Structure 1
């Protein structure tokens, strides 16, 4: 899985889109996430830059202004503000200052281990947003709108930071796919994600202890993303929007690894597994449903269909499916297009 290749944006479309979006806050209606920055990054990356402003023109009705500033967050008082959603604007301003004064990789490396325990906060959207931002920065263009996007992602994550409940490890499993199959579902699959996460008690004991080695951790994380994408084809029907995050959250971590010190890779794998398992426990159905479309799919066709479909989660899942890249992943991408409600009229 190569997270550095893709269509380079020479049109300036991504920077224009990010500048439009940075006047908005990361949430709406209290806690629903602003998916705009993530979706436009995926659209541009996969050759759909021409559709970005049309997509944003439609999506802007869902956006809300950035909240007002409260009080300044500093290197000495940040702990008191961690996990306080009323401080979203304060956190964003803090990371804008930090990334203006220091290299973005240095800021990321300092804050990644602080934020990682709260990976499931905001229904995993903050880490996903950071993953999209880092992928763009790793492509070689670290212009101001792209660094600012990383600041907004980190600020959102810090403001929504929240730990999962204490988890007991159950029996050892030998693969990521088997581990996802063995995740115990929460007893009451009703209500919002926070109500469901509060019921979590146990996850399978995966990955193997060898994942303490950075390269093994990266390999296991890649395996997890592949397994979660493949599983969506047969289990995504249980909750088509929310189960997308079982794949896109760990993939955000995988995209970020090249920008991090190698000693942070094993803990990144552990957090990514916790996020994927939590989403699976909260929303997966009790049994798979067979899904086997005929014909050979291509990556270009899948993403073109996702872009025409227009749903933000569908675009982001197709983007992750293309990272995996095999036929089973493309089938899962097609399944997300079919399961989720289209934003634009079908063609």
Structure 2
């Protein structure tokens, strides 16, 4: 559903005075969380949620030097240029239709999909969904796309060269076959540099097949959290939310970009899985299979954790009982905010 109260636009305007990160690396999840809250009938709670999140927000970093059509390549992947990139995309979106801007920059940004622990592409997916479904292209929603794309460009970081491993017959089997990184200590950047290869999966001969396989990937990664989320409850949500962000963007993109989008989404999901997958699966509690989607999202909203809210939003997109059970598992595993 779409927020018709104006609350989301108000929240985005609040947030656009703040930067996409804090403490030099940690992501500002508020724009994504408030979009999910507003979409799932929790608009009255948005400003209260933001008030409680406010201590995690920092001001926009100072600009360095403008990004232009001539110098953007040298600025790609430079986090010091976050504000420069955001202003660049603001100018682009002022002068061109947002779908045109997205389509031009999507293939340039896809190779760095894992940068920023996949948060930039996830923020982009939320921004695109709002523009696609809101029925009204408001200034705050266009500005949110500029912030999301600017964050992605500034944190753009390709993965190391990867060796193709044995082919897998399904997305679920491919995720199960992803080899874990050898050293499971340290943050995600220390883990991603250890990647050497992924199973071959997801090649698509046509756009519709690519879309179907992307749906399969989101479903498999969401289901897998129900039994593997304990490996790292916060970080493993991104194995599902990153490819789902790509899926949400597909309707706004030319069909020739759908197959490369699937390939990038598989890389992102596999990278997060390799970085944090546990050695053993956990049993699934059958009682978690009996809740309605509305009840599950209400639990996530009351819990208040931003990752839990976003993962539950993805689980509701999948919509089946195992996906809802995975969402309940995220409520159980992640520390509550409220």
Query: Which category describes the TM-score, using the shorter chain as reference length?
Result: over 0.9
Query: Secondary structure of the residue that 2:55 maps to in structure 1?
Result: helix
Mapping of residues 140-151 of structure 1, within 5 Å: 140-151=135-146
- Aligned residue among 236, 239, 246 for 2:239: 246
Aligned to 1:229: 222
Structure 1 residue 188 corresponds to structure 2 residue 148:
no
Q: With structure 2 as the length reference, what TM-score do the two structures score?
A: 0.99
Give 1:84-95 correspondences, 5 Å limit: 84-95=78-89
Partner of 1:3: none
Cα RMSD between the aligned structures? 0.6
SS in 2 for 1:64: coil
CA distance in 1, matches of 2:205, 2:184: 33
CA positional deviation for 1:287 = 1.4
Determine the structure 1 residue equivalent to 2:35: 41
- Structure 1 residue corresponding to 2:113, chosen from 108, 111, 119: 119
Q: How many matched pairs?
A: 336
Segments of 5+ residues of structure 2 without an aligned counterpart are: none
What is the CA distance between 1:286 and its match in structure 2? 1.3
Structure 1 residues 3-152: aligned runs within 5 Å: 6=1, 8-139=2-133, 140-152=135-147
For residues 63 and 329 of structure 2, the distance between their equivalents in structure 1, rounded to whole angstroms, comes to 42
**Mapped partners of 1:194, 1:335: distance in 2:** 26
CA displacement 1:141-183 (0-9 Å, x = unmatched): 2100000000000000000000001000110110000000000
Map of 1:286-297 to 2, 5 A cutoff? 286-294=279-287, 296-297=290-291
Q: Structure 2: how far apart are the matches of 1:273 and 1:212?
A: 16
Alignment partners' CA distance in 2, 1:212 and 1:25? 40
Q: Does 1:276 find its partner at 2:276?
A: no
Corresponding residue SS for 2:286: coil
Q: How far has the Cα of 1:108 moved from its partner? A: 0.2
CA distance in structure 2 between the aligned counterparts of 1:274 and 1:287, rounded to whole angstroms: 22
TM-superposition CA deviations, 1:100-151 (whole Å, max 9, x none): 1110000000000000000000000000000000000001221000000000
Q: Structure 1 stretches of 5 or more lacking a match?
A: 1-5
Matched residue SS, 1:172: coil
Moved more, 285-294 or 142-151: 285-294
What TM-score do you get using the length of structure 1 for normalisation? 0.96
Question: How much has 1:293 moved relative to structure 2?
Answer: 2.8
Helix, strand or coil for the counterpart of 2:282? coil
State the Cα distance separating 1:206 from its structure 2 match. Answer: 0.4
1:168 paired residue among 159, 163, 169: 163
- Once structures 1 and 2 are overlaid, which stretch shifts more, 74-83 or 293-302? 293-302
1:263 is matched with 256
